[in-house]
Amino acid sequence: MKNIKELPAHDRPREKLKERGASSLTDEELVAAILGRGVEGQDLRTISRSVAKLIRKYRENLTVEHLTTVRGMGLAKAAQILSAFELARRYLIKDTVRVTRARDVIPLLADIADKKQEHFVCISLNGAHEVIKKRIVTIGLVDRSPVHPREVYADVISDRAVAVIFAHNHPSGNLNPSNSDLKIHKQLTEAGKILGLTVLDHIVVSKTGYYSFQEAGLI
């Protein structure tokens, strides 16, 4: 594998960032752009690959101790990474939720978890699975909320979304999906396929927890 200096100028992380923007860089390239250089006996690309793996593994729980297990990562370089994370957290991440698993959207559903009527929610997402918008589509009775694909997908199409997550609450506290839930989910999934939209999950919430169709193998 070539080190950074051996790459054509347009493929080096910082030059690539300048020409195409930060969003064009891979995780490893972003780390390399932050760190700038490797150390004797350990090139930058090797360090960046290891650090990127740690970031994906520990996410917001990443620490100096994790980073300094990588050969070539001392306190100074670890501080560069964690400082970049903290700046992003303060000024950017508050407004963006990226979904990789059901628990990522649970905080967005706190407002319906203990409602006395069933609320049906649709969350639209972009190609990076970042939340575009969360909407309460319908509010129904104690045990059901009538849902029609037209109502669910109208705004999602306007969002230019590529994926959706559905959610609704069970006022009874029973998290298991009902036959009606399964029927509605199937109907919405089929309609989504026609529109070119992927249903990533359908989540049932209550005061006691949540049930994920995806985690249960229903998607």
pLDDT on residue 80:
96
Average pLDDT of the chain is 86
pLDDT on residue 70:
96
pLDDT on residue 11:
64
Q: Does pTM top 0.85 for this prediction?
A: no
Domain ranges of the chain: 4-95, 102-212
Report whether pLDDT(92) > 80: no
For domain 102-212, give the CATH superfamily.
Cytidine Deaminase, domain 2 (3.40.140.10)
Report whether pLDDT(2) > 60: no
Range 16-35 average pLDDT: 87
Joined together, the tokens standing for residue 45 give 């690309």
- With H, G, I as helix, E, B as strand and everything else as coil, classify residue 139: strand
Gyration radius of the chain over CA positions = 22
CA dihedral 205, 208, 211, 216 (to 10 degrees): 180
pLDDT on residue 3:
57
Spatial separation of the C-alpha atoms in residues 52 and 75, rounded to whole Å: 17
| Residues whose CB falls within 8 Å of the CB of residue 29, separated by 6 or more in sequence, listed in order | 13, 16, 17, 48
Spatial separation of the C-alpha atoms in residues 144 and 186, rounded to whole Å: 16
